[in-house]
Amino acid sequence: MAKTLILKELSKKEILLSSGHRMCAGCGAPTVVKMVLLATDYPVIASNATGCLEVSSCISDYTAWKIPWIHNAFENAAATISGVEAMYRSLKKQGKIQEEIKFIAFGGDGGTYDIGLQSLSGAMERGHDMIYICYDNGAYMNTGIQRSSATPMGANTTTRPAGSVIPGKTEPRKNLTKIMAAHNIPYAAQASPSHWKDLMKKVQKAHEIKGPKFLNIISPCNRGWRSRTDDSILLSRLAVDTCYWPLYEVENGVTKITFTPKEKKPVVDFLKPQGRFRHLFTPENEWIIKKIQEDIDREWKLLQKEELLFST
Amino acid sequence: MKLKGWKEVTPGAVILDAGNAVEFKTGSWRAFRPVWNEENCIQCLFCWLYCPDMAIKVKDGKMAGFDYDYCKGCGICALECPGKKGNKAIVMVEEGK
Amino acid sequence: MAKIVAVTGNEAVANALRQINPDVCAAYPITPQTELMQRFSSFVSNDKVKTELILVESEHSAMSACVGAAAAGGRVATATSSQGLALMWEILFIASGLRLPIVMPVVNRSLSAPLNIHCDHSDAMGARDSGWIQLWSENAQEAYDNTIQAFRIAENMDIRLPAMICYDGFIIGHSIACIEYLDDEAVRNFAGEYQTLYPLLDVKNPVSYGPLILPDYYMEYKKAQDEAASKVANVVLDVAREFEKISGRTYGLFETYRLDDADIGLVILNSAAGTSKDVVDEFRDKGIKAGLFKPRLFRPFPYEQAGETLKHLQAICVLDRADAFGGSYGPLFLEIATSLYPYREKPILINKIYGLGGRDYLPEHAELALNELINITKTGQVRTVKEYIGVRE
């Protein structure tokens, strides 16, 4: 069901996340969700881990969701959608449902990389026909910017503040996309709302693949990142251009970089607009920026090598 | 708004009215409002695409203004707007001015 | 055609699940439940059921998947014990809060630490305030019958609450007993078609499950849940009446054994009640008016009915297979004490903790309890309210 991605045509579609949600001004998450839902015409049912997206989109008597949606708990978005998908398969097998329905689990990095990792891994391993979409804003934002394993090294968070003896997070971040690819699922990819066509293409591609799929989408948070309310798309673009957040996909084990920046920017371009990295721009902490750059460069080289492994 | 009693609430707090969040107008949140300079608009629809609050009105594939009931004044539309020849089609203006 | 078979408790409950034929089941192994789901799995592999079986990676995910499946709109079951029940604890409250009629046999086993795989009631007792209906079963026949009835009770449109069926691990779960199976059609007709309520899979009518609720509304939802739970006892009785028509077996909120004219009584759950009934008979033969009260519906606890039934006794020994330790009493004791609270004239109550971690409950323990009750009625003195029995000094 591949659709041509032309904004004019897309703009005529109903957006299945309504206005009136409570996410902060300039939040990356609702834009990510909007793009994900616009990309397809299939009916979609979603589960959602506890977090910013969940509490802000469904609170009290109000829901911004125009699709069937379930929030269960923090760590089990994947397990919950597994249950929904299993019921669908059961009822379809019994002839009680005919239509084609797609299943998506939404989770923040907290509910995906950390507490939700087991449930995600289990669902992927069992082969449920679903897409797990992580909107990665790099910390437990909903509870006030606490570090997660997705937080970049050097970042100032409330549980690992940049202080006089500890300069923010000292561990590098987990590469969850690679962990998911290592599950040998048919499709794992990274996307960014700044590169909307790439994002939507990946969503469409994922819907056409049968089995478990994983999409990791960067989702800037101006509160946690201490950035301006208007630069979430700009920052996600910089994330891609500095190769901090490379856009690639691993389809049946074959790695393909889906976007190569014309000019790979130095990581400071990404770090400078964010207040959470402000403390790194001092002589005693510049080694951290250097380390961040080294890690990015190494990962990018590795990714390019992986791609070469499979190119004809 | 009158709050419901325990006999009127839906079992399990399931919300049956999909998308009723529109009843909650977030426009009061903003400190800046976007203003459209139509002459600079190239109808790229990036503003519609990137708006986190679905507050850009589009009619027949063309930008048709802002939904000030929900616009939180984040300014993404203004920043992302390519404009014409360096002139933005959207500028942020302080509320109350 | 009803069939007499010699099967283990786990096998019997697995067969009950087969006959109910749920749409989705989740399974994760844990002793002493494992055999139950293994048997059920073989039904799945041999096309004896239509069930989609999700072999999850933890009990937490088992209950999470059950919540998703039940919200999606269909009949759902899982089973667990002990640590598994403890692990899914947070989701139990979510299942009942979302008002999803999930059914779960719980094969009672003690909780760590120390690690122990044998029977006691600490697992299900630990979950007693999770909003789940709890039916307790003395033997394999009751476990089988309760499992079948649980679906009707949970799915009742006035109720819509999840239900667990408790029966003793190993003692009942693994022991072979003689029980009567109903035939497949009788069970199928009894369970009936599953009625959906706000199913996620009805994509034309999208619903949202699990909103964030603030102090302005949370209590209203809980009051509504409380109201629904208050109707459970009557539904349990209605379902039992219907079940009697197809099985010939009578069930109520509890079972009384030679209690009507008794002076002293034991209150005890599950398999140890069986042992105790034999001892009651022995005492009766000696001319002592002993009786027994065995709760079946433990949550919501039928305080009024229990109080009415027990108030005429002079002394009661409540035997608990779980404890709250220290100055606290066992969970069953607290319920019985509460049932009798409204009466000015009430029986003297004592509490004995027995059988923890699979420690055998023997006839001599029931004798000990009954003899102590006789002493109490004679002297009016209570030696000690709470005591552990069957433990080495």
Instruction: Classify residue C172: in a domain, yes or no.
Output: yes
Q: Based on the domain organization, do C241 and C260 belong to the same domain?
A: no
Instruction: Classify residue C274: in a domain, yes or no.
Output: yes
Chain A nearest C-alpha distance from C93 (Å): 11
Instruction: Classify residue C336: in a domain, yes or no.
Output: yes
Q: Count of residues for chain C?
A: 393
The vertex-A76 CA angle with A75 and A80, nearest 5°, equals 165
Chain C nearest C-alpha distance from B50 (Å): 25
Chain C nearest C-alpha distance from B11 (Å): 7
Helices (H), chain A: 7-10, 28-38, 52-57, 77-93, 109, 117-126, 176-181, 196-208, 232-241, 268-271, 286-310
Return mean pLDDT, chain B.
Answer: 95
In the prediction, which pLDDT does C375 show? 97
- Asked if A66 reaches chain C (Cβ–Cβ under 8 Å), the answer is yes
**Residues forming beta bridges with residue C132, ordered by sequence position:** none
Chain C nearest C-alpha distance from A65 (Å): 7
Measure CB to CB from residue C221 to each of B3, B9, B15 and give the nearest one.
B9
Burial class (CB in 10 A: 0-12, 13-18, 19+), C377: middle
Per-residue pLDDT for A1 more than 70?
no
Inter-chain touch A193–B69, beta carbons under 8 Å: no
Instruction: Classify residue C393: in a domain, yes or no.
Output: no
Q: Based on the domain organization, do C212 and C345 belong to the same domain?
A: no
Instruction: Classify residue B45: in a domain, yes or no.
Output: yes
Instruction: Classify residue B51: in a domain, yes or no.
Output: yes
Note the pLDDT tens digit of each residue in A117-137: 999 999 999 999 999 999 999
Q: Based on the domain organization, do C157 and C265 belong to the same domain?
A: no
Q: Based on the domain organization, do C218 and C318 belong to the same domain?
A: no
In the prediction, which pLDDT does C1 show? 72
- The domain segmentation of chain A, as residue ranges, is 7-310
CATH number of the domain encompassing residue B81:
3.30.70.20
- Asked if C205 reaches chain B (Cβ–Cβ under 8 Å), the answer is yes
Chain C nearest C-alpha distance from B60 (Å): 25
B:53-82 residues touching chain C, CB 8 A cutoff = none
Instruction: Classify residue C217: in a domain, yes or no.
Output: yes
Q: Based on the domain organization, do C316 and C173 belong to the same domain?
A: no
Per-residue pLDDT for A199 more than 90?
yes
Q: Based on the domain organization, do C224 and C269 belong to the same domain?
A: no
- Asked if C215 reaches chain B (Cβ–Cβ under 8 Å), the answer is no
Number of domains in chain B: 1
Provide DSSP, chain B. Answer: -PPP-TTTSPGGG-B-STTGGGGS-GGGG-SEEEEE-GGG-----HHHHH-TT--EEEETTEEEEE-TTT-----HHHHH---BTTB-SEEEEETT-
Q: Based on the domain organization, do C76 and C111 belong to the same domain?
A: yes
**Residues forming beta bridges with residue A136, ordered by sequence position:** A218
The whole domain housing B68 covers 25-94
Instruction: Classify residue B17: in a domain, yes or no.
Output: no
Mean pLDDT confidence for B51-68: 96
Instruction: Compute mean pLDDT per 10 residues along chain C, 393 residues long, and list them.
Output: 93 98 97 97 98 98 98 98 98 98 98 97 97 98 98 98 98 97 97 97 98 97 97 98 98 98 98 98 98 98 98 98 93 98 97 98 98 97 96 94
Mean pLDDT confidence for A290-310: 96
In the prediction, which pLDDT does B96 show? 85
In C, minimum Cα distance to A43 occurs at: C203
Instruction: Classify residue B32: in a domain, yes or no.
Output: yes
For the A7-310 domain, the top CATH level (class) is: alpha beta
Q: Residue C278: which H helix or E strand, with range?
A: helix C271-285
Instruction: Classify residue C298: in a domain, yes or no.
Output: yes
Return mean pLDDT, chain A.
Answer: 97
Chain A environment of C66 (Cβ under 8 Å): 83
Q: Is the dihedral of CA B56, B58, B63, B67 positive or negative?
A: negative
The whole domain housing C172 covers 3-247
Chain B environment of C224 (Cβ under 8 Å): 6-7, 9, 11
Number of domains in chain C: 2
Q: Based on the domain organization, do C127 and C193 belong to the same domain?
A: yes
Note the pLDDT tens digit of each residue in A71-112: 999 999 999 999 999 999 999 999 999 999 999 999 999 999
CATH number of the domain encompassing residue C260:
3.40.50.920
CATH number of the domain encompassing residue C52:
3.40.50.970
Q: Based on the domain organization, do C293 and C227 belong to the same domain?
A: no
In the prediction, which pLDDT does A4 show? 78
Distances in whole angstroms, Cα of residue B24 to Cα of each of A58, B15, B33, C221: 12, 15, 18, 22
Measure CB to CB from residue C74 to each of A91, A122, A125 and give the nearest one.
A91
* CB-CB contact of C32 with C80 (8 Å): no
Q: Which two tokens stand for residue C362?
A: 């023997």
Q: Which two tokens stand for residue C236?
A: 């349990």
Note the pLDDT tens digit of each residue in A232-259: 999 999 999 999 999 999 999 999 999 9
Q: Based on the domain organization, do C298 and C269 belong to the same domain?
A: yes
Chain B environment of C228 (Cβ under 8 Å): 11
Chain C residues contacting A, CB < 8 Å?
23-24, 26, 50-52, 54-58, 60-61, 64-74, 76, 90-91, 94, 200-203, 206-214, 216-217
Instruction: Classify residue C355: in a domain, yes or no.
Output: yes
Q: Is the ipTM of this complex over 0.90?
A: yes
Instruction: Classify residue C155: in a domain, yes or no.
Output: yes
Instruction: Classify residue B42: in a domain, yes or no.
Output: yes
CB neighbours of residue B40 within 10 Å: 17
Chain B environment of A28 (Cβ under 8 Å): 52
Q: Is the dihedral of CA C147, C148, C154, C155 positive or negative?
A: positive
